[in-house]
Chains A and B, each alone.
Chain A
Amino acid sequence: MDTIIPAEWNTAGPLQKFTARLLTGCVLLLLQIVEPLPSLASLNRLSSSGDCIGFLRGERFALANMGNDGSPDAERSLSLPANDVDSAASRKEAIRILSTITHLDSSNWWPHIRPALFLENLRNNIYHPLSIYQGSNTNFCGYAALTYLPLHDDPAGWLRFMLAIYRDGQASFNGIAFTPSARIHVAAGTLVFKGVLDIRPADQLWFLMLADHFRGYLNIFTPRFRDGSEDTFWAAVNLGKFCRMVRRLGGYKTHTRGSDLIRPSIHELYDYISSSMKTGITFLYVDNTYLYKKNHGTLKLHIPTHYLVLTDIRHDDGPDGLLTITYWDYGGKSLRKISEEFLKKITYGVVHCTKTD
């Protein structure tokens, strides 16, 4: 269990607990800021060595190569590009597993999950992995962005894990034992008014379970899930926690620039990100109040609150020198033109992930 509150603290008084949590938070924040940062040169070295091939820039799509097993043409673009033989084989295996399941019994572990919806949700995630949606007004975007990795790399492993945890109430994924608390067992399947997440109980289970298992300093004051916690700091994901989840869940190496409060001092951000994308998967940790303006107020607290997967970035030929970025978030890919200043303004963290051998 990756908790940051040791068990012996449970016997301490409220003041001691508060002090301890405050201190832990400060230490984690400091650790976050002083995390070793890679240079542009090191990224270029990775690029030239050819060890890792970025799959997000690929043009081919995994399901498109699978003959009749693929999804309808219109939704094919919601599938991930194929990067290697292993992930394509894993996807085929996942589709084979799904084809053998025609019916799921209800699970005593998850009293509010409707089996038919659960199965439909799993099917949707395997066929259209980019359509995974964190729900409106929740703090699940970090977990949703992270899910990009297992749904690409090992969809069959992810599917087996989801079926196992549904059946047994606990299961292991990539060597991590997940034993969700009783509150999570009860809550999965009950989240409503979150858009399409309302009818996706498997995603609810997955997000709640990740938030319950991985804890960071932002979650210190909300240790347990309560009704509505998905919208609060209970579900928040700081940059350090995000990287930890990527490393542990996806088996990736991460190189991170940036922090939770201060923008990274990368002089040529465009060049850095372009290089990063050539050698692996790139997540951006961004200030959502700039990216998706929600009010016209002039005084705003600018902090990063949103994760997105950058799938393409390029300079336009025009005289205005704009960038065209393509990224995944909120259940789909978006393309927009932005200036370099805007990119610098929104970017608080660049997470570069490369697969470990």
Chain B
Amino acid sequence: MFKLKHHQYGYLFVAPFIIGFLVFGLYPVVNTIVLSFTDRTLMSSSYSFTGLRNFQLLFADKTFITAIKNTWQLWLMNFIPQMGIAFLLSIWFTNNRLKLRGVGVWRMIFYMPNLMMASAVAALFFSLFSFYGPVNQFLVRAGFLPEAIDFLRKPAVARGLVVFIQWWMWFGQTTILLMAAMTAISPSLYEAALVDGAGTIQMFLRITLPLIKPVLVYVLVTSLVGGMQMFDIPYLLTDGRGSPSNSILTNTINMYMKFHSSKGHIGAASAVGLVVFLMTSIVALLIFFLLREKHDQPAKAKR
């Protein structure tokens, strides 16, 4: 072996990560891209390159378009209320004037749903809302409904449940992140603003919001990535095929269905993966661009 010079040890130390990334990160991505141009199935050893055929089929396929629409809808519908509640809670919890007690306890309670297994949560809601389940029993016996409703066969109910579960599982996490960002802001800024006669809203818009922007970008992007890959709850809540009426069919369920069909069409599944990857990347970059730190740019004379 050759002898390493002092300043080259760094390469040795980062090697494990780089190797891990290349094998488990880059290789699968490259392989997915290659696969998406083939008609490869798992049940046959031969395959050929088919160019853009997988993508042509995808965009001609109503189910794929439905899945993309659903994924965006389900994500936006849970992300917007999630941010709203998280903002409200973190402002209350970090407010120096309110001085709420038991913040730690509340924070823990709100975070709790996130610790539960998605499969357990889905199974819970599934049995609660099934045709012979307790929700129907309660509503009929209390006289709210004339007869039982098959809730999970109603697209609006299924969608609402997915949105609610996603919101309920993740708002605690977002609250904690926002709180961490808000507590890091020096109180002297608020004191100064107060002295200058700023109101609560003004302080929020002019001090809090700009200073937590990096965390906001982080929350947005991670939630976007997670949302575009939403799988477990909608997969487990009904039949694993996005029923009723494809209302909770997400991109990843669609991809899994292609992979899992009797032949295992990994070529076609990779094409879905690639489109979702491109879509997520573009939107994530857009978020970075829109929320970029303005003062990083070539300075313009401000005054």
Q: Do A and B come from one complex?
A: no
Which B residues form the contact surface with A (CB < 8 A)?
Answer: none
